[in-house]
Structure 1
């Protein structure tokens, strides 16, 4: 498996999805119980080792801690450590781009670690440390990495959290009008 170094937007999106499977985001319900489905969705190696799920849960906590404390130097150090499962930098074909490969026999946790590390490093370098944020929805504990062009994303899951806030605002307006 290779992770293309200039595809940090995809990698940061996977990191965001990973941290937002945590129980604190879903009010106690863990949304990463089926690691095989998550791995398949993101074209990761198939989880085959008994401790894969626990390893990914530990990785999820590490990535969340980095997003929650977006100091540039801390992000670079932490994300660099996440890229340790890398086997080496190569030139990928079609189109030719720099990519980093996993070491042979790498686990799903190693693959996710590498992807999250590349995503975080790419965002820090290209967009800045201010793109690591907590969700703005009042009832959400989610976090995200904002890779949008204008950098004004407010919700960890815009389709869920953003919609909930918009519906609540809509109902409040109608209530004030007495409708």
Structure 2
């Protein structure tokens, strides 16, 4: 696998989706089928039974990067993730013929190793391009989620917009209806 260094946003979404499977966000642990669907959506192979527990541990490591107190701590933790299966960067031509930096993974890398390397490289790219301030806690009341904001505007507020953002919008709508009914 070749991990593009310049295209960190795709890897950040993998990280956000993985951290979003946490019981702190969902209220319960993701079931293995949901984890397989998440990985398939990001073009990773399906996890086997042994991978599931390792991926849950990896989720905690990724969350620790996002919750890091300083930029230096985030870089140190993300570098450890990138080193799980990542090798020295290489310069290769992309499909359009332009030279791009890539981080290859070891030929015998496990699913969890490749996942960690993709996320680690992406989070390092995010810190370099956009800064440590893009790691945030979810703004939804009662949610314990965290996320990395790779959006251009940098205005993302929720760890899982379709879940946390929707919950808050529904609660605000109901509060407005109650206020009008009085």
State yes or no: 1:154 paired with 2:157: yes
How do 1:43-82 and structure 2 match up within 5 A? 43-48=43-48, 51-82=50-81
Q: Is this contact kept in 2: 1:82–1:117, CA < 8 A?
A: yes
2:94 counterpart residue number: 93
Structure 1 runs not aligned, ≥5 long: none
Tell me the TM-score normalised to structure 2 length: 0.90
**What is the number of residues matched between the two proteins?**
177
Q: SS of the counterpart of 1:51?
A: helix
Tell me the TM-score normalised to structure 1 length: 0.91
**RMSD of equivalent CA atoms:** 1.6
Query: How far apart, CA to CA, are the structure 2 residues paired with 1:165 and 1:44?
Result: 32
Q: SS of the counterpart of 2:29?
A: coil
Q: SS of the counterpart of 2:60?
A: helix
Change (3 A) 1:122 1:67: same
2:105 counterpart residue number: 102
Which structure features the higher share of helix residues? 2
1:6 counterpart residue number: 6
The alpha carbon displacement at 1:92 in A equals 4.2
Query: How far apart, CA to CA, are the structure 2 residues paired with 1:45 and 1:99?
Result: 20
Structure 2 runs not aligned, ≥5 long: none
Query: How far apart, CA to CA, are the structure 1 residues paired with 2:136 and 2:66?
Result: 7
